[in-house]
Amino acid sequence: MYERSSADELVNCLRDEVKRYSLGEKLPSSRALVERYRISPVTVSRALARLAAEGLVTTRPGAGAFRAGPDPGRDTPAGDTSWQELALSADATADAVPRSVDASGVLVTLAAPPAGVVEFNGGYLHPSLQPERAMADALARAGRRPGAWGRPPVDGLPELREWFARGIGGSMTAAGVLITSGGQSALTTALRALAPPGAPVLVESPTYPGMLAIARAAGLRPVPVPVDTDGVRPALLADAFRATGARVLVCQPLFQNPTGAVLSAERRPEILRIARDAGAFVIEDDFVRRLAHQDCGPLPPPLAADDPDGVVVHVGSLTKATSPSFRVSALAARGPVLERLRAIQVVDTFFVPRPLQEATLELVGSPAWPRHLRAVAVELGARRERMRHALGLALPGIAAPHLPAGGYQLWLRLPDGTDENALVAGALAHGVALAPGRPYFCAEPPAPHVRISFAAVADLAEITEGVRRLRAAWEESRS
């Protein structure tokens, strides 16, 4: 019998059986279900994921499956999402902002440089770091699955939604997850759902140019809130909410782009409290969680894991850890906002192609996936150190003020008076591509910067050569 049809039959059996259990009561173990129905553990896992996505059961790694309801193993408050009704209906009264689409800041990292140019401007892993064989094998296996080319559920495959929910943690369940086509699409959906045209939206400063482009294209007014090495600054955030009446903050709490900052443990609850008091949402762009370096240590959980009240709309993506063409991500939320997100997602894209979702399940469930993540962690850490060392020797005046423990770039502050555009142009003439700092600011930048990536180059030797070329361009610009 095909695995999927077996899973469908088991789901039908368990739907009736679950009703005989008390709320929060534990279901039979996976091993017991395997023995009772004479099916594989994978089939049981898929069936339980379906039931979890339907809201009938909850699963806890290492503990088992339980009928959905109060969990005796946790003391987590249910939360109150009723505040969202006001936040979602309170239109801004500011003048409408002209909608403009400026993709220049995005194209800097998307456009392939000419042959022979060292790619210090790239935003994706070099092909040698991508799990190409594992992705190809996963896609081949997925394509042979019965029903793989059929129409998927509009919210996404239940098993994939459950996988993302487990990664978020806390009280997030598959019922609160939507599968989307990459992080850029998810951010677009979230901003359209949460802010009407003309409204202010608070953004970190500096921040990801692609998000600024989304906001401006939607007619929103980005308002900067400065960040430091501990993330967005709470006092300035509170001032910005009071001054603008904004209902949305967009932030990257983990390995922020471009600074690499991580929101500190002390600031995490403060940021959520400030947003909650303002009746505002926090869009959490968790884009590089799977690109931590080997020496990083334990990662903080997503903000969404500590948010029972539905303040956080979480965006999680697999693209950065795989390939620019592996565009699978998730939107996660609690409360009434989920329906608005779902409606916009359906209108814009209908659904993510099923073969890609099936391939994602094959990939993240294979032994190759953790091996790939470990290998990337080691390699990115080594590249960061080579970049740091090379810059320190060749260009001590523009070394990075912060050394991130994850992600793929360094954020370099240039000496006052430096023409960053001239430096970028001169670097390209010497055979190395950089990303200028100006597009990362939505207002006047406090100083000149460049962003320099170490993920898109071929190897450590190319980093050394790229810095040598950059030094030549720097010396030429100062002469």
Extents of the domains making up the chain: 3-67, 104-130+369-478, 133-364
**Alpha-carbon gap, residue 443 to 450, rounded angstroms:** 16
CB 407 within 8 A of CB 400: no
Sign of the Cα pseudo-torsion (237, 243, 244, 245, in order): positive
Closest CA to 160 of 3, 290, 50, 10: 50
Architecture of domain 133-364: 3-Layer(aba) Sandwich (3.40)
SS3 state of residue 178: strand
What backbone torsions phi and psi does residue 151 show, to the nearest 5 degrees? -80, 125
Q: Do domains 3-67 and 104-130+369-478 have the same CATH topology?
A: no
Token pair for residue 54? 């339907």
The CATH classification number of 3-67 equals 1.10.10.10
**Alpha-carbon gap, residue 170 to 58, rounded angstroms:** 12
What per-residue confidence (pLDDT) applies to 105?
67
One digit per residue, the tens of pLDDT, for the chain of length 479 reads 334 457 778 888 888 888 888 888 888 888 888 888 888 877 888 888 888 878 888 887 667 888 886 544 455 566 777 777 667 766 545 456 666 667 766 666 667 777 889 999 998 999 999 999 999 999 999 888 888 788 888 899 999 999 999 999 998 999 999 999 989 999 999 999 999 999 999 999 999 999 999 999 889 999 999 999 999 999 999 999 999 999 999 999 999 999 999 999 999 999 999 999 999 999 999 999 999 999 888 999 999 999 999 999 999 999 999 999 999 999 999 999 999 999 999 888 888 889 999 999 999 999 999 999 999 999 999 999 999 999 999 998 787 778 999 999 999 999 988 899 999 999 999 999 999 999 999 988 889 999 999 999 999 999 999 999 999 999 888 87
In angstroms, the Cα distances linking 191 to 79, 139, 158, 214, 331 are 23, 31, 25, 8, 12
**Alpha-carbon gap, residue 399 to 414, rounded angstroms:** 8
What per-residue confidence (pLDDT) applies to 401?
77
DSSP class of residue 172?
-
Candidates 1.10.3720.10, 3.90.1150.10, 2.115.10.20, 3.40.50.620; CATH matching 104-130+369-478: 3.90.1150.10
What per-residue confidence (pLDDT) applies to 3?
45
pTM above 0.85, yes or no: no
What per-residue confidence (pLDDT) applies to 289?
95
Q: Which residue has the tokens 């806390």?
A: 170
CB 122 within 8 A of CB 455: yes
Closest CA to 237 of 263, 216, 210, 198: 263
What backbone torsions phi and psi does residue 165 show, to the nearest 5 degrees? -60, -40
Token pair for residue 199? 């409204």
What per-residue confidence (pLDDT) applies to 98?
66
Strands 177-180 and 329-332: antiparallel
What per-residue confidence (pLDDT) applies to 113?
75
**Alpha-carbon gap, residue 137 to 240, rounded angstroms:** 49
